[in-house]
Structure 1
């Protein structure tokens, strides 16, 4: 075999390998899309549940209302921070 024959055989093998990978990836994309279609068709998402609005504490400044739960979380964080600084 001459060197040009070896190069041509290498190029053929390269394209066969690239073609095989390309076909495999295209089949993978097609199967994933098919699976997604089947799942959405037979198992649709449940209707979203509308959450009740949270209670809002009256703000002393009157600019924007502040959530009572948020105030409790901030107060607990400040207390924890102060306790760590003392000890």
Structure 2
């Protein structure tokens, strides 16, 4: 084989490889979009939001805030 034939064969192999990767990525994008559409169609249930129950929820939030503040204070005290 002459060098020009080898070069042409290399270019042909490169284009084949690039083309096959491009086709694979396009198929992957199409499959992802199709799966998203199917899941969106069948999964129409709304996401449940946590309900606040008036004063009980406020007390729980206050307790949680106090616990977080205590943990931060202890962490900073250990670090020096």
Same fold flag (TM > 0.5): yes
Larger radius of gyration: 1
Matched, 1:74 2:77: no
- In the alignment, the residues of structure 2 paired with residue 76 and residue 16 of structure 1 have an alpha-carbon distance, to the nearest angstrom, of 60
**Structure 1 vs Structure 2 CA RMSD:** 2.7
Q: Counterpart in 2 of 1:28?
A: 28
- In the alignment, the residues of structure 2 paired with residue 77 and residue 16 of structure 1 have an alpha-carbon distance, to the nearest angstrom, of 59
Question: What does the per-residue CA deviation read over 1:30-57, in whole Å, with 9 as the maximum and x for residues that have no partner?
Answer: 011001100100112424425316416x
Higher relative contact order (CA 8 A, sep 6+): 1
TM (norm. structure 2) is: 0.69
* Runs ≥4 residues deviating over 4 A: none
| Between structures 1 and 2, the one with greater strand share | 1
TM (norm. structure 1) is: 0.64
Matched residues, number? 72
Q: Counterpart in 2 of 1:62?
A: none
Q: Counterpart in 1 of 2:10?
A: 10
